[in-house]
Structure 1
Amino acid sequence: MARIKVERPSQEKLRKLGVESWPIWEKDVSEFDWYYDEKEVCYLLQGEVEVKTNEETVKFGAGDLVTFPEGLECSWKITKPVKKHYKLGQ
């Protein structure tokens, strides 16, 4: 099973990906289950999140670039309100 990838990208990498043109999603402190029917890459502008799968628990926050693989089932726990750019597919 593919895993969640968390990295601290350079400003150059963010520019190359075109992150600033991606849509923005915001969510308050909450917990919910989620299924990725396609790959998602997101860049957190603010917030803190803990995502649990059957294989791992991953924590990430503002400044992290996170890749969720297609087919991933997980539970989100948002501990600080989130604002993120995101891109689906590919």
Structure 2
Amino acid sequence: MISVQSPDASQLETATQWPVWEKEICNFDEDYTAREMFYILDGEARLTTRCGIDQTIRQGDLVTVEAGVLVNWDIRQPIRKHFKFF
């Protein structure tokens, strides 16, 4: 499961304390063994799963990916994000 939302002020304040991850334009699979929450600072990517989820994420999105999901990342514009694993 992947959920995308606009963060409220409290969520945004929390997310900006997390580390930053950056990735160039590319395509790769990520097997999530833990739940990840991240806030997109810059860029755009299409996230797809085998169970039919197809979600485009962009600057300003707060995204949660549940543990146990295999996600294909198609990064279309270089990504910068704050992230945290739970």
**Class of the TM-score when normalised by the shorter of the 2 chains:** over 0.9
State yes or no: 1:11 paired with 2:9: yes
> Per the alignment, in what secondary structure is the counterpart of residue 13 of structure 1?
helix
Q: Which residue of 1 aligns with 2:22?
A: 26
Q: CA deviation at 1:20?
A: 1.5
Q: Which residue of 2 aligns with 1:65?
A: 62
Distance in 2 between residues matched to 1:76 and 1:29, nearest whole Å: 10
1:71 is matched by which residue type in structure 2? G
Q: CA deviation at 1:69?
A: 0.2
Show structure 2 runs of 5+ residues with no match.
none
Distance in 1 between residues matched to 2:20 and 2:10, nearest whole Å: 20
Any runs of at least 4 consecutive aligned residues in structure 1 with deviations exceeding 4 A, and if so which?
A: none
What is the number of residues matched between the two proteins?
Answer: 85
Q: CA deviation at 1:85?
A: 0.1
Q: Which has the higher strand share?
A: 2
Identity of aligned residues (%): 35
Distance in 1 between residues matched to 2:66 and 2:15, nearest whole Å: 18
| TM-score, reference length from structure 1 | 0.90
| TM-score, reference length from structure 2 | 0.94
